[in-house]
């Protein structure tokens, strides 16, 4: 299985792994954008966001994975302004969208998260979040009791690099004061959370709630399976 050594720290991705937007990103953009005059429908915004998100997070060159608060703010401002390019006041619309996603109520915690985190703490593991996010991550985490077992959360904007950069994981290792081999990464993005984590020396598991468990590609479809894997190993 993907757990090559007994970990001290289990690191979870945030969005798509522990938490998810509620309402969806497209619905939130539409609700806010509608206040500022957008004529796009929710399906149109969904597609526009998908295209722009991919473009914004796909770069080339030595600095493509650099991250800090300034970089992430500019990135999200460009995304919002491109997706909702027909609103009357782009700056005000962006500010409201950006603030929306710092509100814990804009996010839901997956139902398998709380019991898994609680059980892992009972088993003596230290728990962290390692996410491509900015400082809004901390407000979101603090606002959900289900995430209280998490010992510490790291956003890419604080680390200085975003996944899939191997520097993200090497810096995370130093922050946690353990070797990469003593860390297990759990996330929903194959490149960001699994492939790159393994290249950096971590064990890693992909969670895909839409597919049945497949041992050959180290995939689970419920976070509770992390507990089962650790207890088995």
pLDDT tens track for 124-176: 999 999 999 999 999 999 999 999 999 999 999 999 999 999 999 999 999 99
Place of tokens 């728990």: 127
Whether CATH 3.40.1010.20 fits 9-18+110-232: no
CA 199 to chain centroid? 19
Residue-range domain boundaries for the chain: 9-18+110-232, 21-105
Q: Which residue ranges of the chain lie beneath pLDDT 50? A: 1
Average pLDDT along the chain: 94
The pLDDT of residue 196 = 96
Judge if 9-18+110-232 and 21-105 fold alike in CATH terms: no
Which residues lie across from 187 on neighbouring strands? 206
What pLDDT is stored for residue 231 in this prediction?
Answer: 83
At the top level of CATH, the class of 21-105 is: mainly alpha
Provide the pLDDT for residue 1: 44
The whole-number pLDDT of residue 58 equals: 82
Global pTM reads 0.94
- Residue 5 has a pLDDT of 72
Q: What is the pLDDT of residue 4?
A: 64
């Amino acid at each position: 299985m993907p757990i090559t050594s007994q970990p001290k720290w289990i690191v979870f991705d945030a969005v798509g792994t522990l938490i998810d937007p509620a309402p969806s990103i497209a619905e939130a953009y539409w609700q806010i954008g509608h206040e500022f005059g957008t004529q796009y429908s929710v399906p149109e915004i969904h597609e526009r966001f998908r295209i722009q998100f991919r473009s914004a997070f796909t770069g080339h060159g030595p600095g493509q994975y650099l991250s800090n608060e300034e970089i992430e703010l500019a990135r999200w401002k460009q995304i919002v302004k491109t997706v909702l390019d027909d609103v009357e006041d782009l700056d005000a619309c962006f500010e409201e969208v950006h603030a929306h996603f710092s509100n814990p109520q804009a996010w839901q915690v997956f139902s398998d998260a709380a019991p898994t985190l609680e059980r892992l703490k009972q088993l003596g593991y230290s728990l962290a979040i390692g996410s491509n996010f900015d400082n809004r991550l901390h407000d979101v985490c603090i606002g959900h009791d289900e995430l209280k077992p998490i010992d510490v959360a790291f956003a890419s904007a604080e680390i200085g690099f975003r996944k899939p950069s191997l520097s993200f994981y090497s810096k995370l290792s130093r922050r946690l004061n353990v070797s990469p081999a003593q860390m297990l990464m759990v996330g929903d993005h194959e490149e960001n959370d699994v492939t790159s984590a393994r290249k950096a020396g971590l064990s890693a598991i992909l969670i895909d709630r839409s597919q049945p468990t497949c041992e050959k590609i180290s995939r689970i479809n419920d976070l509770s399976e992390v507990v089962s894997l650790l207890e088995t190993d």
